[in-house]
Structure 1
């Protein structure tokens, strides 16, 4: 059975080096600490930079047919706007060249710089229509801002207009919310990542974004960042706790209906049988896609965990490859 992994990372030196330099020279910063894990000489750095050799070797060894590749978090979102826009363009060109070298093995999610919403919209259009990308990725907040805010709507307009699924990937919580997490280093993948990313998704829902952009498709990794576990409570509490007049828009649908209509999830770092089965039960087998989170998570372990889940063959096929082919417009195997 074909296997497509849908949240797999790379980096370019022009992004990596400034982040490592900042991590070495500045006081502790949660996002810079994350970058520092890819320091010089580490296998993680080597694998992030590689788009040809070891990556393909590991894919072959673990039976991965296709990686859907994107720039590692935090992408370009910690750079000044003009520099971030240029780096996003460069990263997208580098990955597009790698996809051209290995068209049967790679697909891509394009980067953009939310700091420059108009430039981001242009880059999304270029990536989707000229470079042949399969979607776009944002690493949650940018300087504490979220995409539901009106100044960022050109980005969402571009996603909807080009049919680009928007993958919301984690980063450490925003400056407004991070302090309680830092006491025990909870701001990273142990808890802060999913809290930040699910908050971003819920802001889009509660802010009426999917009434304004009903065809916008959002993808959440890491087992859906936990959002689909809360469907009945989201509906009940949204209805029961009325906001002050004018503080939030009236929604056309209940929150859970947007999650079922406008969202899909991947299993990156969460190929755990109970979690995968609950996702299928709560939002449907047609909304769940396999992912590894390469090179941060072991590929062989992820494949073995997914293989071990007792599911009907047609459901396994949907999760392994058919949903990714449909949602990300990845060509079926010839």
Structure 2
């Protein structure tokens, strides 16, 4: 197990868009460094399941001279609601948080999404540092500055772009992660492999058991490569006006599945099916060959991720996809592939094509 600290830079057109992503072991002591000298008050937002960790972070900050507070929110997607954001705003207001104070999030992707949104909206923007504790949070949600909450109509339809001051990916957190959480989080790394860095796919295919071992150097390399993919895309396109849309590979159907399942499914499981659908759509459109399409299904099933969904839910899924952020009016748009690591956008005006494609993956 490698003990060195890796620093991955995210850059942008403005100084506020530049930040470090630290990857390594035993990194929680770095939080105060990135808070800076002006911050006096810090709110630590954490889910109920991480109460002990959240309190430990608060106590560490208090020992270093910060006025520190905690806001405990519901676990997973249940925490990404307007009422929860309102509770956090209330805590900030009651404790006189100013624009020079900060928020620290501790948890998975749902916590970084919610906490980032609270930071983006309190006084029109305060500093936030993310400490992702899940694989999904480390390789995806915490990096990039996208924040959001869910509504009854869909996932992440309300949000803001708000880059963090730093992301601290302490790999020690993965050692206490349930095996299913680790595997479903890997779906986002697989996505990065197909759209940008095929070495990620090879690392998984060569030894899937080692790739999903929380203490392995192989998993660390997968994490670092995944973060590097996202950092490079985000640095070139913070507000999703171009290349950043490619990071949504598999997410159009994936988000629709999450909505149909009332967010009781893990994000990675839904995106896994979404990627198989996107690959099949790419094949249907003549963009990729059979081998690349089948590789999606093979690697995802190798990891134990789902690759098909119920045949009787098409109507609900189509309604969900129409609410996708990539849609333009009534026109559905999908991230597809023109080859390995060659993502593109495909407009699909005829939903009959989508239905026929779905039949190829439906169970």
TM-score (norm. length: structure 1)? 0.31
- TM-score if structure 2 supplies the norm length? 0.30
Q: Bigger radius of gyration, 1 or 2?
A: 2
Question: Larger RCO: Structure 1 or Structure 2 (Cα < 8 Å, ≥ 6 residues apart)?
Answer: 1
